């Protein structure tokens, strides 16, 4: 009743860039929150960093997306750009592998936003909680963001 025992998990931005509402992402799977809830970032940097301590649960084959699971069991997805899987190694370099334990701020993926945009793809990057049943609340903090430093969201557990 008074919030005793409730736990909060603060996540830092996985990318440097500006805030984009998830509903403004040019892909209905993200914009309608079918894949989860969160925020998107229009990147100005070139490195995805771990938003928290956790385990890498997935590194997609083209390295355009990475999944991180927190100690509390919250599953996060960072998806670089829209329809970017076909760009493969030309634009993305994975710096971790599935099963790795990572620390907040640790580099996960390097990418080339200019190549993504040159290929006619949107570089906007959704950052989602993919198992919202694990959280009680989500508070988003406004950008701009600095990867590995600026708080982007707080989750009530």
The single residue of 49, 69, 79, 121 carrying the catalytic annotation is: 79
Catalytic residue list contains 63: no
122: number of Cβ within 10 Å: 17
- Which residues are known catalytic residues? 79
């Amino acid at each position: 009743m008074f919030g005793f025992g409730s736990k909060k998990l603060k996540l830092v931005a996985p990318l440097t860039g500006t805030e984009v509402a998830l509903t403004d992402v040019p892909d209905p799977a993200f914009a309608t929150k079918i894949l989860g809830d969160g925020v998107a970032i229009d990147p100005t940097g070139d490195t995805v960093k771990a938003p928290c301590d956790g385990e890498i649960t997935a590194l997609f084959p083209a390295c355009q997306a990475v999944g991180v699971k927190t100690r509390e069991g919250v599953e996060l997805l960072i998806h670089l750009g829209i329809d970017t899987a076909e760009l493969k190694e030309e634009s993305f370099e994975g710096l971790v592998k599935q099963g790795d334990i990572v620390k907040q701020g640790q580099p996960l993926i390097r990418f080339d936003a200019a190549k993504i945009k040159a290929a006619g793809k949107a570089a906007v990057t959704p950052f989602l909680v993919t198992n919202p049943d694990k959280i009680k609340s989500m508070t988003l903090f406004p950008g701009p963001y600095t990867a590995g430093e600026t708080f982007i969201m707080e989750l009530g557990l």
